[in-house]
Amino acid sequence: MMRRATHAVDPMWVVLRERGPLHTRGQLAGYLRRLRETGRGHWADCLAAKHPSECERGRPTNASYPGDRR
């Protein structure tokens, strides 16, 4: 697709450089709750273990990702 693009930067690489989509930041606690409510608690536990700085007893900490320039 980028072979025919009229712009030089692929939007996917922008998102990857920003460490993921901005609209999902601070939403981990709600997502973990949703996973548990729908019988996917194992996956909630996996995500919580991978991102401990984003959840404190199931609540987001407003911590930014490394490399953020805000």
Q: What is the pLDDT along the chain (70 residues), one digit of tens a residue?
A: 557 778 888 888 999 999 888 888 889 999 999 999 999 999 999 999 998 888 764 454 444 444 444 3
| Domain membership flag for residue 61 | no
| Domain membership flag for residue 66 | no
**What is the reported pTM?**
0.57
| Domain membership flag for residue 62 | no
| Domain membership flag for residue 24 | yes
Domain total in the chain: 1
Look at the block and give the residue holding tokens 């998102």.
Answer: 15
Rounded to a whole number of angstroms, the CA Rg of the chain reads 16
pLDDT of 58 reads 47
pLDDT of 17 reads 92
Evaluate whether 19 touches 67 at the Cβ level (below 8 Å). Answer: yes
